[in-house]
Amino acid sequence: PANTVLSVCVLLLLLLAGQQAAAKKYAAIFNFGDSLVDAGNLVVDGIPEYLATAKLPYGMTYFGYPTGRCSDGRLVVDFIAQELGLPLLPPSKARNATFHHGANFAITGATALDTSYFVAKGLGKTVWNSGSLHTQIKWLQEMKPKICSSPEECRGLFRRSLFIVGEFGGNDYNSPLFAFRPLEEVHEFVGDVVNSIGEGIEKLIAEGAVDLVVPGVLPIGCFPVYLSIFRKQPEMYGGKSGCIKDLNTLSWVHNVALQRKIVELRKKHADVRIMYADYYTPTIQFVLHAEKWGMLRQKPRACCGAPGVGVYNFNLTSKCGEPGAYACDDPSNHWSWDGIHLTEASYGHIARGWLYGPFADPPIVGNR
């Protein structure tokens, strides 16, 4: 009987391994989001003169030239595609691209809420929206004739695809933050932002999506752009991290509300897998435990920038890609690329944490 038990155990393990392997076989990835995952949608119609992110040293690490990605190299979605054996997703607006293995609808400046929401609050000037979540979902709907020949075929493809929805929210909160509205007022946006993300998820489920990754927002209080603009009293900074505590609280509150929304949607759509993906925890770890990730232990500092206020190597008048700004010698030992976005090294660590744990609930693929 011991042998029988053993062989049953082995059989079960083989079956589980088979399921794991099956879980990895996505036909396509469809990605939505803002500048954390924009692979070039903003620059397909030519590069606007003012856009520093489309100039070197952006793209220096992996591509060797700027692609429109706001980093020195690959983004989380690029690492996920490569790890799942799929080609890098073309930006959805790319001409003469093929989208049979998916598309990247993300665009710099994107918000969860439509522009009209900000205009109604008198924030039209600080929202720079080139395509909200709901606009990006319309782009997916308009693309369907290019990737499948019937609604049934589309649903079939979407059922075998991975949908990455976000992160959304960062730019929604930037709008009141950069208008210097009081933080209490910014917190009032959270419910509307999270409900809008929830509506987006349900629209994608209605299109046939059954595997959705929903990322939370970054700990914005650790980023040089905010540290340079919002000068606080000494007790407002984390003693170990040097991050602005009340800005990180805003991110935390959003992420808790988003996770609640995901729990609610899981109950409502029992046959759909919705995974929460964490940008917050790994970034805090890069700050507090830099050596563990092969990074320099230092107060938050942009790899690419110019000296400005404080030690952050961030200057609003000389941002990465603009005259007077330079990249550090080795971007892989910094977590912050340009003071606003992350380095390829950071995105690689985060992607692995989403795929295999511990930075996703549940991980996309499961344990290695």
pLDDT, one tens digit per residue, over 56-76 is 999 999 999 999 999 999 999
Q: Identify whether 10 is part of a domain.
A: no
At residue 363, the pLDDT reads 97
Q: Domain containing 58: what range? A: 25-222+242-287+356-361
CATH of the domain at 51: 3.40.50
At residue 48, the pLDDT reads 74
**C-alpha–C-alpha distance, residues 155 and 340, integer Å:** 37
Report the pLDDT averaged over residues 323-329: 97
Q: Identify whether 9 is part of a domain.
A: no
At residue 302, the pLDDT reads 98
Task: Tell me the pLDDT tens digit for each residue of 301-313.
Answer: 999 999 998 999 9
**C-alpha–C-alpha distance, residues 106 and 103, integer Å:** 9
**pLDDT at residue 322 is higher than 80:** yes
The model carries a pTM of 0.92
Q: Considering 72, 175, 338, 349, which one is annotated as catalytic? A: 338
Question: In the numeric block, which tokens belong to residue 39?
Answer: 């692979």
Q: How many domains does the chain have?
A: 1
Q: Identify whether 2 is part of a domain.
A: no
CA dihedral 283, 287, 293, 295 (to 10 degrees): 130
The confidence band for 18, taking pLDDT boundaries of 50, 70 and 90, is very low
Q: Considering 35, 161, 336, 346, which one is annotated as catalytic? A: 35
Q: Identify whether 306 is part of a domain.
A: no
Q: Considering 101, 254, 334, 341, which one is annotated as catalytic? A: 341
Q: Identify whether 308 is part of a domain.
A: no
- Contacts of range 89-97, beta carbons closer than 8 Å, 24 or more positions apart: 89/29, 89/31, 89/39, 90/39, 91/38, 91/39, 91/40, 91/41, 91/44, 92/41, 92/136, 92/139, 92/140, 92/143, 93/41, 93/44, 93/45, 93/139, 94/40, 94/44, 95/44
**pLDDT at residue 94 is higher than 50:** yes
Burial of 195 (0-12, 13-18, 19+ CB in 10 A): middle
At residue 269, the pLDDT reads 98
Question: In the numeric block, which tokens belong to residue 197?
Answer: 């993300």
Task: Tell me the pLDDT tens digit for each residue of 219-254.
Answer: 999 999 999 999 999 999 999 999 999 999 999 999
Pairing of strands 211-215, 273-277: parallel
Average pLDDT over all residues of the chain: 92
**C-alpha–C-alpha distance, residues 292 and 325, integer Å:** 28
- Interior angle at CA 95, CA 138 and CA 113, nearest 5: 25
Q: Please confirm, yes or no, whether 341 is among the known catalytic residues.
A: yes
DSSP H stretches of helix in 74-189 = 76-83, 115-120, 133-147, 151-159, 170-178, 183-187
Q: Please confirm, yes or no, whether 175 is among the known catalytic residues.
A: no
Task: Tell me the pLDDT tens digit for each residue of 168-204.
Answer: 999 999 999 999 999 999 999 999 999 999 999 999 9
**pLDDT at residue 17 is higher than 70:** no
Q: Identify whether 13 is part of a domain.
A: no
